[in-house]
Structure 1
Amino acid sequence: MTQTSSRPQYFGPLTDSTRWDAVTLRDDDVIVVSPPKCGTTWMQTIMALLFSGDPQVVPEFSMNMPWIDIRVRDMAEVTQRLDARPGRRSFKSHTPMDGLTVGDQGHWICVFRHPLDAHFSFRKHVQNIPIRWFDDWYPANDPRATFRHFLTGEPAGFDCDAMPLAHILPHYTAAKAMADRPNVTLMHYADMKRDLPGTFTHLADVLGISHPEAVMQQLIQAATFDNMKRNADRFAPSGGKGFFKSDADFFHRGTHGQWQGQLTDDELAAYDAMMDAHLSPADRKWLEQGSTA
Structure 2
Amino acid sequence: MRRYQGTVYDSNRWDGFELRPGDIIIAAPPKCGTTWTQMICALLILQEPELTLPLDTLSPWIDMVTRARAEVFADLQAQSHRRFIKTHTPLDGIPSDPTVTYICVGRDPRDVALSIDHHIDNSDIDAFLKARERAAGIDGTELGPLRRQPPRPDGERNRFWQWVDDDTPSTQIGSSLRRTVEHLQTFRDAADELDVVHLHYDDLKDDLAGQMRQLAARFGIHVNEHRWPRLVQAATFGAMRSRAETTVPGGSRHWIDPAAFFNRGTSGQWRDLLDNADLARYAARVRTLASDELIDWVHREAIT
Common fold: TM-score over 0.5: yes
Q: Which amino acid aligns with 1:34?
A: A
Three-state SS of the structure 1 residue aligned to 2:26 is strand
Q: CA deviation at 1:127?
A: 0.8
Structure 1 position 119, deviation (Å) = 1.0
Residue pair 2:152, 2:159 contacting (<8 A) in 1 also:
yes
Corresponding residue number in structure 2 for 1:284: 295
CA contact (8 A) 1:14 1:72 kept: yes
Secondary structure (helix, strand or coil) at the match of 1:120 reads helix
Contact 1:179–1:186, Cα closer than 8 Å, also in 2: no
Deviation per residue, 1:2-52 (Å, 9 max, x gap): xxxxx3221111221111122100112111001111000000000111111
* 8 Å CA contact 1:61, 1:237 repeated in 2: yes
Which whole-Å CA distance do the structure 2 matches of 1:52 and 1:81 have between them? Answer: 16
The code of the aligned residue for 1:186 comes to H
Q: How do 1:1-293 and structure 2 match up within 5 A? A: 7-131=1-125, 136-139=150-153, 141-153=154-166, 154-158=168-172, 160-161=173-174, 163-181=175-193, 183-239=195-251, 241-289=252-300
Conservation of the 8 A alpha-carbon contact between 2:3 and 2:171 = no
Give identity over the alignment, percent. Answer: 36
For these two proteins, the number of residue pairs brought into alignment is: 280
RMSD: 2.1
Helix, strand or coil at the partner of 1:123: helix
Distance in structure 1 (CA, Å) of the matches to 2:293 and 2:149? 35
Unaligned runs of 5+ in 2: 127-145
CA contact (8 A) 1:29 1:90 kept: yes
Q: Take 1:99 and 1:182, find their aligned partners in 2: how far apart are those partners?
A: 15
Deviations 1:60-119 (A, max 9, x none): 133221111112222222212211222211111101111112112321101110001111
Is the Cα contact below 8 Å between 1:59 and 1:235 reproduced in 2?
no
Give 5+ residue unaligned stretches, structure 1: 1-6
* Paired AA for residue 210 in structure 2: G
Cα separation, 1, equivalents of 2:56 and 2:244:
14
The AA in structure 2 aligned to 1:225 is F
